[in-house]
A and B are shown apart, each in its own frame.
Chain A
Amino acid sequence: MRIWSSEHTFDHEWETVAMAAFKKYPNPLNRAVTGIDVVKQTLEAGKILTERIIQSHFSIPSWATKLTGFSGTQYSHEYTVIDPHRKEFSLTTRNLNGSSFLRVDEKLTYKPDQEDPNKTVLKQDVIVTITLPAFADYCEKTFLSIYSQNASKGRQGVEWVIDNLKKEYEEISKKVSSEVHEMSEKMRHWSIPSTSSGPSCTSSASTSSGGPTTSSSSKSQ
């Protein structure tokens, strides 16, 4: 079993981030997600409880398919609780395929930064457990190294959606703001293909300078 944790601060207030995180897909940074269905969405005591099934497509090596029977199409179950009163957005995800040898539990929480209410902190924990006759530890490590890269893409995805929502609002209100520079900065970030020379479990993801901050850690148990 291995655990990976990370913390990231968005330079936006909670409502903005929650809206973007809720409508995160589709976005050009997370193209693996190909379908989502909302199987439950209720309001209880002022909170929105949502269950979704998420379908993703991955390109995985053929040896892995042979070894595990894993195909490129995966499903996961996501449970979210949005509490606008306490300003808390929590999201729990579990894989629905390959459960006989793989279990991935992911938990994300978006809360306002205690020191600066104009910022939002994302806490992310993932626990991966692989039960294979051999290489389990290696596979867990590999999984988390890929995961940590994707995590940074996920955060950039949320940033992209925030920009996109902003643009949508601007179009509605027909206001012209001077955020073109910031926007092109972000476009530059997500259009450049990842150049990192190899995955590393402990390396923190690089984010745009001066803005959001990120820290991450990984440990094995």
Chain B
Amino acid sequence: MSDRHMSSIFPECDQLKQIYDKCFTEFFQKFITPNYRHQYAVNPCERFHEVYKRCVDERLAKQRPFEIDLDEIRKEYLNTEDDKLKSRQNSSTPSEQK
């Protein structure tokens, strides 16, 4: 829907990013509306993301544009947002999954 496109950091991955972004933006527009069934939604563009992410991961590993290990940052978030999310999930949904 948008002709604005933010390019990938790596030109080689840009085409894969465009395909993924287009798919996810279309989904996002529906997802953000109040009547959408958010609870059980999954990323419908996951297969596009896998291909695109592989391209990015390879280049990040090879070129190492920054010195910080992303996993370290993730650990910090895991101790905050995700934990809160999980505890909320556990308390609000009585362990039945659909």
Binding site for B on A (CB under 8 A): 15, 18-19, 22-23, 25-27, 33-48, 51, 53, 55, 73, 75, 77, 79, 81-82, 84-85, 92, 94, 96-97, 99, 164-165, 168, 172
Contact = CB atoms under 8 A, between A and B. Distances in A.
Nearest to A19: B32
SS class, residues of chain A in contact with chain B: strand
B44 to A, nearest CB: 9
A219 B68 CA distance: 28
Nearest to B1: A168
Contact of B4 (A41, A43, A48, A164): A164
A92 B76 CA distance: 12
**Which of the four size classes fits the interface of chain B?**
35 or more
A141 to B, nearest CB: 25
Contact of A53 (B9, B49, B81): B9
A43 B36 CA distance: 14
Contact of A43 (B1, B6, B42, B74): B42
A209 B10 CA distance: 41
Contacts of B81: 79, 81
Nearest to A83: B38
Contacts of A40: 53
B73 A94 contact: yes
B8 A26 contact: no
A137 to B, nearest CB: 25
A55 to B, nearest CB: 5
B85 interface: yes
B8 A42 contact: no
B29 A19 contact: yes
B39 A45 contact: yes
Given A15-B32, A81-B81, A33 B56 contact: no
